[in-house]
Amino acid sequence: MPLKDNFIFKEVQEEYMIVPLFNGNVNMSKVFNLNETGAFIIKKLKEKDDIEYVVDEMFKEYDADKELLRSDIKAFIEELKKRGFYE
């Protein structure tokens, strides 16, 4: 299940956000602000749409428990699905 292309991922002055597009136009009322971890997950999903790849990359970066990382990534992806950014 890939990321959809109905949004723009932006970093502005160390702030990360997903800006939805509606009929090719920006919809600022539905902006989804991200922390660094959320931005990291988005970047890695854009590289390769594979949860295990993202888990491995986050483990390299954060050296956290892989099961906890996997659980957090899945929860984040569920939030992306609810907002219509992930299939």
2-36, pLDDT tens digit by residue? Answer: 778 888 888 888 899 998 888 778 878 888 999 99
- Domain span at residue 24 reads 7-82
As for how many domains the chain has, the answer is 1
pTM over 0.95: no
Would you say residue 1 has pLDDT above 70? no
Q: 2 lies in a domain? A: no
Q: For residue 20, how many other CB atoms are within 10 A of its CB? A: 19
Give residue 20's Cα distance to chain centre.
13
Q: 63 lies in a domain? A: yes
Q: 77 lies in a domain? A: yes
CA–CA gap between residue 13 and residue 26 (Å, rounded) = 19
Q: 22 lies in a domain? A: yes
**34-53, pLDDT tens digit by residue?**
999 999 999 999 999 999 99
Q: 78 lies in a domain? A: yes
